[in-house]
Structure 1
Amino acid sequence: MKKLTLLGLGSILLLAGSSKAGPLIDFEASIGAIQQKPRGYVSYEAESDNDRIDVKKDANLGDKTKPWVKLKLEHPIPVLPNVKLSYMPMKFDGSGNVARTIKWGDNRYDLSADFNLSVKLDRVDTTLYYNLPFIKTATAGKLDVEFGLNVRTIMFDGKLSGRESCTGQSISESKSITLPIPMGHLATEIRPINQVSLVGELNYIGYRKNTYYDYAVGLRLNSHGFVQTTLKPFVEVGYRYEKLKIDEEGVKTDLKVKGLYALVGVRF
């Protein structure tokens, strides 16, 4: 997936540079790194709250730093939405021992013996959006507001390995789900001067027992005004917070993942 994403990014950059897209078509591509600090719990086929595994207190899941790739295309056709794509891998591993027995899937685990927990939440975002009419023109490019629909496809995998409570034998069980989650999307860019922008975005959905949202806020330094080239480089640093509370196919989670991020990119 990483190789395909990076290959796609390189292909779009090459295509855009060679085709000399018109001034009404804007491309943006960026790549960088993001901290991922998990908190909360995860369970599979739990019978009570006792079967939840706290990812920090029980399993000691470690913080990670992962890549983040983003692409964006805006065009002048009023009816058709603009498009954003992004890819972010997310995987945590940890181990521990706590004085209790839990049910995970079809088995009961004795957590007083050493156990290992792995949680993967890779995701691909496909966002279709429109710019709020007249705002960018009315503010001479100092404010841009986007709204639309983001479909986040999450590839979840949770695996628990440890000792069976009755027999003492080593056991392991995992659960995988691919969840396409539609979310409302809102983003903004405030540019008081050409060289500096404040950027932010929010994705949200709530239904039944599920609540899922994330937001990111950042400061972007643009080369516009410093370098007169077709490619306009930028650097962005910021903070991202995500809450994932789901109850699907026996999997229950209430996870929070937060951390700083840094991106480098180009507009053209």
Structure 2
Amino acid sequence: MRRLMVALGGALVLAAPVAQADVVGLGASVNYWNSDLTGNVRDGGDFVDVDNELNLDEDSSANAALYVEHPIPILPNVRLAYTQVEQSGQGVLTADFGGVNFSGINARSDLDLDQFDVTLYYEILDNWVNLDLGVTARDLSAELVVQDTVGAGLKNTTTIDGVIPMGYLAARFDLPFTGVSVGGEGNFIKFDGDSLRDFNVYGQYEISLLQLRAGYRQMAVDYEDGDDQLDVEMDGPFVSAGLSF
């Protein structure tokens, strides 16, 4: 992991002199992400399908982002982003999950996921083609609670908590004189067989200070630690409104 962070940091330093903002810029946005969760999870026992067995399909989502760009050479620009996803469901579970034997028991599942990103990046291109390159530190916290609904006292809680370094790339193509643009941005890391990616593509319309976006976002995690495995994907459309100064 240390070698990966050094490599990402080196790429960021090499990119630093390419482009800088002429003035201080500030932007903020909020969005709603209608996400579906698919895949499998194992907590020291059997594999469990999060869609077909846990039926995690009732979701709510809160997302926000803030960025600051400046004309100071060498120093990177800063982007902060927060994502909160809550999903719940109920189904019949037949599995040994986390040392708890759910043998055909009606179970309720609740997933709470919070992540906070701090991204340092440079503008490589800044005209009708915009390109940003940087690194992200992602503080990821997730909790999955599975418990019976019949009073049998069966319950398991699986947690993930850590800070993950990731690469950051964003590109946008502006259609001159229209206020319309298309683009995409993403974070990614792959190390020692594990991987995490989080990307979105969008169309944007800008009028005065207001930016309106609609697009598609996908986040995928492939993680293995002994008998604990997580191979899930969360994706779906999103809409966003923001202000840029």
TM-score, scaled relative to structure 2: 0.84
Contact 1:109–1:163 (8 Å) recurs in 2: no
| Mapped partners of 2:109, 2:48: distance in 1 | 9
Return the alpha-carbon distance in structure 2 between the equivalents of residues 62 and 81 of structure 1. 39
Distance 1:233 1:52, change over 3 A: same
The aligned counterpart of 1:186 is: 169
Residue number among 125, 141, 146 corresponding to 1:160 in the alignment: 146
CA contact (8 A) 1:36 1:63 kept: no
Aligned to 2:28: 29
The alignment-based identity, stated in percent, is 25
Query: 1:126 and 1:248, CA in 2 relative to 1: closer, same or farther beyond 3 A?
Result: farther
**Whole-angstrom CA distance in 1 between matches of 2:52 and 2:195:** 23
Aligned to 2:238: 261
Give the equivalent residue in structure 2 for 1:103: 96
Q: Which residue of 2 aligns with 1:228?
A: none
Structure 1 gaps of 5+ residues are 1-21, 225-231
Partner of 2:132: 146
Q: Deviation per CA, 1:212-248: give whole Å up to 9, x if none.
A: 1021011111114xxxxxxx11111111111111225
Q: Give the superposed CA RMSD.
A: 2.1
Give how far 1:251 is off. Answer: 4.0
1:56 to 35, 40, 51: 51
Match of 2:63 among 65, 68, 84: 68
Residue 129 in structure 1 maps to residue 129 in structure 2: no
- 1:163-212 CA-partner distances (Å, limit 9, x unpaired): 89xxx942212132312111111001111224111121121111123111
Residue identity in the other structure for 1:87? Y
Match 1:213 to one of 176, 197, 204? 197
2: CA distance, partners of 1:186 / 1:241? 15
Residue 103 of structure 1 and its aligned partner are, at CA, apart by 2.3
Aligned length: 224
1:94 aligned partner: 89
Bigger Rg, structure 1 or 2: 1
2:105 maps to which residue? Answer: 113
Q: Give structure 1 regions of 4+ aligned residues with deviation exceeding 6 angstroms.
A: none
Structure 1 CA distance for aligned equivalents of residues 229 and 147 of structure 2: 18
Q: Secondary structure at the match of 1:80?
A: coil
**Unmatched 5+ residue regions in structure 2?**
1-20
For the Cα contact (< 8 Å) 2:143–2:159, is it kept in 1?
A: yes
1:250 to 1:27, Cα distance in 2 relative to 1, 3 A: farther
Distance 1:70 1:37 in 2: 21
Please state if 1:176 is matched with 2:159.
yes
